[in-house]
Amino acid sequence: MWSYILRRVLQALVFIFLISVLIFSMIHIVPGDPVLTILGDEGASQEKIQALRTALKLDRPLPVQFFDWIGAVVRGDLGESLISGRSITPDILTRLPRTFELIFLAIILSLLVGIPLGILAAVRRNHALDWLISLSAMLGLSTPVFVTGTLLTLLFSLRLQWFPSTGYVSFQEDPLAHLQRLILPSISLATTTSAIVMRMMRSSVLEVISLDYIRTSRAKGLNQAVTLYKHVLRNAVIPVVAIIGVQVSTLIGGTVLIEYIFNWPGLSSMLIKAISQRDYPTVQGVVLFISSLVIFINLLVDLSYGMLDPRVRYT
Amino acid sequence: MLKRSLFILLSFIVSLSLAQDPKMGGILTWGLSTDPPNLDPHVSSGASAATVKMSVYNGLVRYDKDGQIVPDLATDWQISEDGLTYTFNLRDGVMFHDGTPLSSADVKFSLERIINPDTGAYLASAFGVIESIDTPDDLTVVLHLSEPHAALLPYLARQEAEVVSKAFVEGGGDLNLEMMGTGPFMFVSREPDVSIKLEKNPNYYETGKPYLDGITFIPYADEQTRVTALEAGDIDLIEYVPWKDMEAIEQNPDLELHADEGAAFMTLIFNQERKPFDDPLVRKAFGYAIPRDAIIRVAFFDRGSPITGGLIPPNSPYHNDELDGTYSYDPEKALSILAEAGWTDSDGDGILDKDGETLSVSLLSTSTYGMHMQTAQVVDQALREIGVDITLELEEWSVVVARQTESDFDFRVHGLGVLVEDPDFLAGYFMPDAFYAKISHMSDEMYGEPLTVGRTSTSEEERKAAYLEFEKAFLDQAPWVHLTWRTQGEATQSYVKGYSHLPGPLWGHSAYTLKETWLDK
């Protein structure tokens, strides 16, 4: 078990290093210049540009810049934003919880909606209810998040005026206002995932139901609810857990659009802004942070199979 | 007699009851189009940032809601006969937000800070004519100029000329992160990309103002999100209303649009170092080949007007009416001018050529801003129709900026602004040492001279003649081809009262009226 974990962690570190090389090269290959973003599109003389480039240490060879950066990262320092001059790590740490509360709430919503509907569809297989649930799942799957987000805003903010359309109020400042603004973006984010959870749950339940031991438990007279709860669900839920692990990275991707539409000041909106400004250290810092997180979550998901299914053993 | 007095009395009562008294209190939420990159009042960082800064600071003079220059920290001023000495008398009893009194030393410190090149101040070159500053007493400031500067007062009325506290800056206060001025509102807090909060200054020098308890600025990077937030009632006011939404906002009884034109224009900038744009005939021909009405329709939803003559805005007393109509949409004329320059379709392939070479040009624009892209698309289509082999390069904004700085383009679409309420704004673009003159390689000295006369002359007649000469030469040589004026506007909830959109080029200073703004709810 421990050697397995160690191996996986080492593997993850190699991945993270490769990602850092990739992201560093990619953002530097893209044309554009942070120096010009800072100086504005007017009145930037060549001398001014050169002076600022030297001051920001952007005039050194790229490999030197890379090892300088990665060296600081290993010491836990992501550097400073070229544009605002603020330290990047605290900015990431302020914004991370905002993005994660969106994702967390979206996952909870997906499970709350997806699991019961999946079971219902499986139990009522090929009945009208199953068709209806599967149809809405198809709809949820095929609607892009920005369409869902825009439609929800139109209906609940502009028409019904139940929720504010945009914005962010911190929880400490006003808990109710905070939650009100959290709901629409989370629901938009959750639509695709709940459809995936529902479909996975449905097929998983159908598969387990057809297994011999279920037939046996029915044969010995256990009622359907007990069979479902005690024997079917526990086994059927494993693939759903796996899919949630995979979905976290999809959800992080989804927040890029959702944070934009709902003006949510999270990690993704920070990344988008940094990319358009060619704020190299910020882009590198945020992407490295997010990808390390995704790798770490996948690791946790792998390890959690063992807890849910005693047959899984690590060798 | 009695009847008349009664009538006067009655109309007086009626007018009293019609004019609403402002309601005190409440927080106004303002949807910014971008999060201010810095808070330093002297460093330009766009109209959004300026809006925030001008609520906290004051200048010597400022604009009122009709666009007139009026006293602010200076109660009055005298300009010497030769235009070389400006004497300002400061208002007595003005306090900075930290409780210290304003004195002439703060004004001197601020102006010197602007002139110092290390500050990177926006008005550094405009104030370059200030040779020395005297402070004979605490409430008098005297500026000595090296040569007359006709537009000095309009520049002093700009947001970027505001007065900061000498003691605050020298005591280590960071103007980039904190704001500390004498203005109607005081800085409370800032969370990047989330909000900037201001509260009422109870000691503001205009007794009884401001009416609001405070202002919260919230940045909205996406224009659609900004409009939705206003429509949903989340916020009270938005700036940079997208043109496509203006009509809907006008028709919405809960909202009000505050907009006008004469501040911003679309233009074609030619790189005159590259062929075929080294030939003025080709540039002029392009001026006739583009349907400006189509640009206004496609890019600005009919919110704009064509520029067919000079660039001095129509509402300016310096606007030259006789030049209007110099350029019109006339593809036949464009073709004949091109033929004069030697470009004809000699091989019948539909593309113009000369000495075996086709008329191939590449138009640089951006996909980041819709108005730039749509303008470029109309230009592309129109030139294609007269037989120009044109390539449309739609790059991301930061790429466009980088390529422009390197002069790496044939010609480009740009949207620029009239930066000061005076024809001297032309100098900012077209003086031989100006950035835009350089990148388009407008080396021609014929523009520098009239612009210098326009700036330094104290005679209005002489200035008018100089600007007419400049505009005539410009239209004749067509180093740039101007396309359209566009409307610029804000939108508010209808309960927002007392807010005014300043006319023409001053729109970016509309936040001067926030101290008179109140919420009728």
d(CA B507, CA B519): 21
β-bridge partners, B95: B101
Note the helical H segments in B149-307. 152-156, 166-170, 223-231, 243-251, 280-289, 292-300
The CA distances from residue B401 to B19, B365, B406, B436, in Å, are 49, 10, 9, 12
From chain A, the residues in CB contact with B38 under 8 A are: 84
d(CA B105, CA B363): 51
Inter-chain CB proximity A44 and B435 less than 8 Å: yes
Position B117 in a domain: yes
Task: Please tell me the distance in Å from A165's CA to the nearest CA on chain B.
Answer: 6
Q: Are B187 and B180 in contact (CB under 8 A)?
A: yes
Position B12 in a domain: no
**Band of pLDDT at residue A310, cut at 50, 70 and 90:** low
Q: Are B478 and B287 in contact (CB under 8 A)?
A: yes
Inter-chain CB proximity B398 and A157 less than 8 Å: no
In this prediction the pTM is 0.85
The CA distances from residue B141 to A240, B4, B106, B125, B130, in Å, are 75, 51, 10, 20, 12
Which one of A31, A42, A269 has the shortest CB-CB distance to B402? A31
d(CA B30, CA B297): 29
> What is the structure's pLDDT at B73?
96
- List the CATH number of the domain containing B451: 3.10.105.10
Q: What are the structure tokens assigned to B7, written together?
A: 């009538």
From chain A, the residues in CB contact with B228 under 8 A are: 153, 157-158, 165-166
Q: Are residues B391 and B281 in the same domain?
A: yes
Position B229 in a domain: no
Q: Are B383 and B390 in contact (CB under 8 A)?
A: yes
d(CA B18, CA A183): 44
Q: Are residues B444 and B481 in the same domain?
A: yes
From chain B, the residues in CB contact with A83 under 8 A are: 37
d(CA A222, CA A217): 6
Q: Are residues B460 and B499 in the same domain?
A: no
Chain A residues contacting B via beta carbons under 8 Å: 31-33, 36-37, 40-45, 49, 83-86, 91, 153, 157-158, 161, 164-168, 260-263, 265, 269-270, 273, 276-278
Q: What is the mean pLDDT of chain A?
A: 85
Nearest Cα neighbor of A172 from B495, B194, B142 is: B194
Nearest chain B alpha carbon to A161: B232
d(CA B34, CA A113): 37
- List the CATH number of the domain containing B194: 3.90.76.10
Q: Is the peptide bond before B276 cis (omega within 30 degrees of 0)?
A: yes
Nearest Cα neighbor of A27 from A213, A280, A196 is: A280
Q: Are residues B478 and B499 in the same domain?
A: no
Which one of B38, B193, B229 has the shortest CB-CB distance to A166? B229
Q: What are the structure tokens assigned to B350, written together?
A: 């539909």
Inter-chain CB proximity A167 and B401 less than 8 Å: no
C-beta neighbour count of B510 within 10 angstroms? 24
Q: Are residues B267 and B409 in the same domain?
A: yes
Q: Are residues B103 and B173 in the same domain?
A: yes
Task: Please tell me the distance in Å from B176's CA to the nearest CA on chain A.
Answer: 10
DSSP state of B161: G
Q: Are residues B332 and B421 in the same domain?
A: yes
Q: Are B133 and B85 in contact (CB under 8 A)?
A: no
Q: Are residues B482 and B504 in the same domain?
A: no
Which one of A41, A85, A153 has the shortest CB-CB distance to B404? A41
User: How far, in whole angstroms, is CA B254 from its chain's centroid?
Assistant: 28
Q: Are residues B349 and B380 in the same domain?
A: yes
Q: Total domain count for chain B?
A: 2
Q: Are residues B201 and B321 in the same domain?
A: no
Nearest chain A alpha carbon to B222: A260
User: Running along chain B, 521 residues long, what does each successive block of 10 average in pLDDT?
Assistant: 54 53 93 88 85 96 92 96 95 96 96 89 88 96 95 94 96 92 96 92 94 95 88 93 94 95 90 93 96 95 94 92 94 96 92 93 91 95 95 90 89 91 91 87 83 92 95 94 94 96 89 94 86
Query: What would you measure as the largest C-alpha separation in chain A, in angstroms?
Result: 87
pLDDT at A48 exceeding the cut of 80: no
From chain B, the residues in CB contact with A173 under 8 A are: none
What 3-state class would DSSP assign to A219?
Answer: helix
pLDDT at A29 exceeding the cut of 90: no
Task: Please tell me the distance in Å from A227's CA to the nearest CA on chain B.
Answer: 49
Position B248 in a domain: no
The alpha carbon dihedral of B232, B237, B242, B244 has a sign of: positive
Position B1 in a domain: no
From chain B, the residues in CB contact with A91 under 8 A are: 192
Q: What are the structure tokens assigned to B380, written together?
A: 């592309």
C-beta neighbour count of A65 within 10 angstroms? 17
Position B10 in a domain: no
Q: Are residues B470 and B508 in the same domain?
A: no
Q: Are residues B469 and B346 in the same domain?
A: yes
From chain A, the residues in CB contact with B366 under 8 A are: none
Length in residues, chain B? 521
d(CA A232, CA A225): 10
Q: What are the structure tokens assigned to B431, written together?
A: 């003086």
Structural domain including B187 reads 27-212+495-519
From chain A, the residues in CB contact with B37 under 8 A are: 83-84
Residue linked to tokens 């660039």: B311
d(CA A28, CA A34): 10
Nearest chain A alpha carbon to B35: A273
> What is the structure's pLDDT at A312?
64
Task: Please tell me the distance in Å from A102's CA to the nearest CA on chain B.
Answer: 16
Beta carbons within 8 Å of B369's beta carbon, 6+ residues apart: B397, B415
Nearest chain A alpha carbon to B118: A48
Q: Which of A28, A33, A42 to mutate to test the interface with B (most CBs of B within 10 A)?
A: A42
Residue A273 half-sphere exposure toward CB, CA atoms < 13 A: 25
Question: What is the interface size between A and B, counted as CB pairs within 8 Å?
Answer: 95
From chain B, the residues in CB contact with A151 under 8 A are: none
Inter-chain CB proximity A168 and B228 less than 8 Å: no
Q: pLDDT tens-digit profile of A110-152?
A: 999 999 999 889 888 888 999 999 999 999 889 888 899 989 9
Q: What are the structure tokens assigned to B443, written together?
A: 């080396």
From chain A, the residues in CB contact with B493 under 8 A are: none
Length in residues, chain A? 315
Pairing of strands B518-519, B496-497: antiparallel
The domains located in chain A, with CATH, are 36-77 (no CATH), 88-314 (1.10.3720.10)
Helices A267-277 and B397-405, interaxial angle, to 10°? 20
Pairing of strands B304-306, B69-71: unpaired
Nearest chain B alpha carbon to A169: B194
Position B256 in a domain: no
Position B246 in a domain: no
d(CA B165, CA B303): 42
User: How far, in whole angstroms, is CA A258 from its chain's centroid?
Assistant: 11
